[in-house]
């Protein structure tokens, strides 16, 4: 008897210890009081355009918080009717239902029924409650933890707050955590815009997002929606008539297309992500978990216009180039391209040096590798950016030809530096104008030979290899005459002064101090030179480009706010004279006249073409927007082979198409505007003979131009913008 009592006591003690240990283990896996009172679900950071469109999200779990005011009552009713009909009457756990489920599970020796209330599901999602493993013991442990945590949640929060939290963290499939993300991903709508049928469909997904994925199992998803609607009618949330109507409602899903995958501005968004990563150290936030709202300067309507312009031009231009480029005629270039691709491949770089030659030989004999290299090397790349020059806001950005399918390609606006060619000439002419030379000032169009810094002689030529006579600065910029630009930097706009002006106007890249700079031999970043051009229409004021307006945390508290940083770098008179000069290339027979095939409102700009047609540029502006286009190839061994590689042909049409689509869009509503002429400038006629203001000095009454005689005051060529106070000889002009 005593022995039996001892055994029972020992067994009881062991059970008691095990129970205590299990209790400690059980409660150790529960959320703390702090976590209960301040739950911190991982929330996606949202990136907004300036017109309120979500451009993209950064997340580990794509989750967005919502309030009940943002949710249709039909969706909440569908949730309660389907997932937890007694939600408003229990205290976190539906005890009778829970006990029945536990008995069935123990009898079946597996977790057959969950019987989870909405609050229990919230506990599981919010605090990642888990058992020790996937065994029955582990699963029952998890259910008990859910039970306890659900009771604590009900003690801390109202039913409305519980619904808000649940609908913000529940998983709906397709990387959507929370009803806000789900409504966007599946229907492209705000939660407040969902119909009853759409709400019922989304609630139906909660049972099994993969099982009821409409893109894979459409019929199954529709049947699940019908079940949800039936539950709503069963518990009198809707009438039988409304149930029938909602069941017949067609589901129009947002297509999973390229725009959905990569977004409309993938290169811009990636640039924003990189900036946020840098700011995270300063502010201590996590862009993947903290649910930030990032408000950017990009206009989604202008971005779509940019995408359309690039896509239309590139589709025809790529096909044309493919016909012109034959690798048989470019064997040396192919060897260079192949060598570069092999040396930079992971296989080659990670291999032991003793076998790298063998690997290189294998690559050179691999036809599929050779074909892929050829295709990638001949892919025309594009960089486009549009800026509101008065505010510095980046309105649109296309960072490459892969904008529709690849999110993290090289950004050809912010991550490259290329020679701008003749697109740099405006900085040279700006110095000349600021030094007091009128745009009618003439220079010899004659060859020169210069000794460069490396000791080599340089004999620049015009594009058409012709020369002779004299040309005004105005004609030089209109027709992009190299020798006029070079003589300008040699005679009236010193190199060091040009560099000083270029830096002052926004060029941050280092520039070579040689006369060749006049025709754009210094490499620049596309974004910086486009922003620098904005000085001309902005009346001499440079505005630093910005992309992030403000950053807010998940509770809408302001973290950072950015404002335009401005500085005056030119007089408004000089800026206006240059604006007038830069209208010449886009008008008549100017180098950028192809812009006028698409866009007819006031505009100015300049083309750029580098040696062997390696880079094609067009940078221009309207009174409201400055935009620039770069077209070329990532591998510098590949280039255009003829005049199709000129800036006026390869780049200017993209600019013209973009402006056409933007200004014709009634939703954007840009007005027709003209460049503002400052009071200090008036149009004077300059005498061909004396180079003085005709109304005071010119002895002639007519001027002969192209074998035609004109009254001096109507001369179509020899006119210039000059300050009102400067009507004397050229050497008296200073401003």
Beta bridge partners of 689: none
Percent of the chain with pLDDT over 70: 79
Could you tell me what percent of the chain has a pLDDT over 90? 41
Pick the CATH number of 62-256 from 1.10.8.10, 1.10.3810.10, 3.90.1650.10, 3.90.1150.10: 1.10.3810.10
Average pLDDT over residues 94-102: 69
16 Cα distance to chain centroid? 63
The rounded radius of gyration (Å) of the Cα atoms in the chain is: 35
Burial class (CB in 10 A: 0-12, 13-18, 19+), 1: exposed
Partnered with residue 604 across adjacent β-strands are 621
Cβ atoms of residues 126 and 169 within 8 Å: yes
Check if the beta carbon of residue 700 is closer than 8 Å to that of residue 688: yes
User: Confidence band (pLDDT; 50, 70, 90) for 545?
Assistant: very high
Report which of 664, 666, 706 is spatially closest to residue 688, judged by C-alpha positions. Answer: 706
pLDDT tier at 37, thresholds 50, 70, 90: low
Model confidence at 101: pLDDT above 80: no
Taking the model in full, what pTM does it have?
0.75
State how far the alpha carbon of 463 is from the alpha carbons of 328, 485, 595, 610, 638, in Å.
27, 12, 20, 10, 20
Instruction: For residues 723 and 578, give the distance between their C-alpha atoms in angstroms, rounded to a whole number.
Output: 13
Written as six digits, the tokens of 606 are 């300049």
DSSP string for residues in 387-416: EETTTTEEEEEE--TTTTT-TTS--TTTS-
Q: How far apart are CA 197 and CA 215, in angstroms?
A: 17
Which tens digit of pLDDT belongs to each residue from 174-225?
Answer: 878 888 888 888 988 888 899 999 999 999 998 888 889 988 888 898 999 9
Task: Annotate 35-69 with DSSP letters as a single string.
Answer: HHHS----B-EEEE-TTS-EEEEE-SSEE----GG
The answer, yes or no, to whether residue 43 has pLDDT greater than 90, is no
Q: Lowest mean pLDDT: which of 251-265, 432-446, 712-726?
A: 712-726
Interval 467-520: pLDDT, tens: 888 889 999 999 999 999 999 999 999 999 999 999 999 999 999 999 999 999
Q: Quick one: DSSP state of residue 8?
A: H
CA distance linking residue 300 with residue 375, whole number of Å: 31
Give me the chain's average pLDDT, please: 82
- pLDDT digit string, tens, across residues 588-642: 888 889 999 999 999 999 999 998 889 999 999 999 999 999 999 988 888 888 8
- Indicate whether 146 pLDDT > 80: no
- pLDDT of res. 158: 87
Q: Do the Cβ atoms of 162 and 154 come closer than 8 Å?
A: yes
Q: What are phi and psi of 345, to 5 degrees?
A: -75, 150
Domain ranges of the chain: 1-30, 62-256, 388-396+417-611, 681-732
Choices 3.30.470.10, 1.10.600.10, 3.40.190.290, 3.40.710.10: CATH for 388-396+417-611: 3.40.710.10
Cα 694 from chain centre: 52
| Mean pLDDT computed over 275-292 | 88
Q: Is the pLDDT of residue 366 over 60?
A: yes
């Amino acid at each position: 008897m005593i022995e039996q009592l001892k055994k029972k006591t020992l067994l009881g003690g062991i059970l008691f210890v095990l129970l205590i240990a299990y209790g400690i283990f059980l409660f150790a896996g529960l959320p703390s009081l702090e976590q209960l009172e301040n739950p911190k679900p991982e929330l996606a950071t949202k990136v907004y355009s300036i017109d309120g469109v979500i451009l993209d999200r950064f997340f580990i779990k794509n989750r967005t918080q919502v309030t009940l005011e943002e949710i249709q009552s039909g969706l909440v009713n569908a949730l309660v009717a389907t997932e937890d009909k007694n939600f408003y009457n229990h205290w976190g756990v539906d005890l009778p239902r829970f006990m029945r489920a536990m008995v069935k599970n123990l009898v079946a020796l597996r977790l057959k029924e969950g019987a989870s209330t909405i609050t229990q599901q919230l506990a599981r999602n919010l605090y990642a409650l888990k058992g020790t493993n996937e065994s029955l013991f582990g699963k029952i442990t998890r259910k008990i933890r859910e039970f306890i945590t659900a009771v604590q949640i009900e003690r801390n929060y109202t039913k409305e707050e519980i619904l808000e939290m649940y609908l913000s963290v529940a998983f709906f499939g397709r990387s959507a955590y929370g009803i806000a993300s789900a409504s966007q991903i599946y229907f492209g709508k705000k939660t407040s815009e969902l119909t009853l049928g759409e709400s019922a469909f989304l609630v139906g997904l909660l049972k099994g997002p993969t099982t009821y994925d409409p893109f894979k199992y459409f019929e199954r998803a529709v049947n699940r929606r019908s079940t949800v609607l039936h539950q709503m009618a069963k518990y009198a949330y809707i009438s039988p008539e409304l149930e029938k109507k909602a069941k017949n409602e067609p589901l129009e899903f947002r297509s999973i297309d390229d725009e959905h995958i990569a977004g409309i501005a993938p290169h811009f968004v990636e640039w924003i992500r990189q900036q946020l990563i840098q700011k995270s150290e300063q502010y201590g936030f996590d862009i993947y978990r903290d649910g930030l709202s990032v408000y950017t300067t990009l206009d989604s309507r202008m971005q779509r216009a940019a995408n359309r312009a690039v896509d239309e031009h590139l589709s025809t231009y790529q096909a044309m180039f493919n016909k012109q480029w034959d690798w048989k005629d470019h064997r040396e270039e192919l060897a260079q391209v192949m060598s570069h691709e092999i040396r930079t491949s992971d296989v080659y770089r990670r291999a032991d040096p003793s076998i790298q030659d063998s690997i290189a030989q294998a690559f050179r004999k691999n036809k599929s590798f050779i074909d892929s290299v050829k295709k990638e090397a001949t892919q025309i790349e594009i960089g486009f950016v549009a800026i509101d020059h008065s505010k510095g806001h980046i309105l649109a950005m296309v960072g490459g030809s892969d904008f529709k399918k690849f999110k993290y390609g090289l950004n050809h606006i912010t991550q490259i530096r290329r020679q701008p060619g003749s697109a740099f000439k405006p900085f040279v002419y700006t110095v000349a104008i600021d030094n007091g030379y009128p745009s009618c000032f003439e220079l010899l169009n004659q060859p020169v030979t210069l000794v460069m810094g490396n000791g080599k002689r340089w004999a620049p030529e015009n594009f058409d290899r012709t020369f002779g006579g004299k040309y005004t600065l105005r004609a030089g910029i209109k027709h992009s005459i190299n020798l006029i630009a070079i003589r300008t930097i040699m005679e009236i706009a010193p190199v060091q002064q040009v560099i000083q002006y270029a830096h002052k106007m926004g060029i941050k890249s280092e520039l070579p101090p040689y006369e060749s700079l006049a025709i754009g031999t210094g490499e620049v970043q596309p974004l910086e030179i486009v922003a620098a051009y904005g000085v001309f229409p902005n009346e001499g004021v440079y505005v630093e480009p910005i992309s992030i307006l403000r950053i807010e945390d998940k509770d809408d508290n302001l973290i950072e706010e950015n404002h335009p940083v401005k500085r005056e770098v030119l007089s408004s008179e000089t800026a206006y004279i240059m604006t007038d000069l830069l209208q010449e290339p886009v008008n008549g027979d100017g180098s950028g006249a192809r812009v006028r095939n698409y866009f007819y409102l006031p505009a100015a700009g300049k083309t750029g073409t580098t040696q062997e047609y390696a880079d094609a540029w067009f940078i221009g502006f309207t009174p409201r927007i400055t935009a620039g286009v770069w077209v070329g190839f990532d591998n510098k061994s590949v280039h255009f082979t003829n005049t199709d590689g000129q800036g006026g042909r390869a780049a200017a049409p993209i600019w013209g198409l973009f402006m056409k689509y933007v200004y014709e869009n009634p939703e954007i509503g840009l007005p027709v505007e003209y460049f503002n002429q400052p009071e200090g400038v008036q149009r004077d006629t300059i005498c061909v003979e004396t180079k003085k203001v005709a109304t005071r000095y010119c002895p002639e009454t007519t001027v002969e131009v192209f074998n035609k005689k004109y009254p001096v005051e109507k001369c179509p060529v020899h006119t210039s913008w000059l300050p009102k106070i400067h009507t004397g000889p050229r050497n008296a002009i200073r401003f």
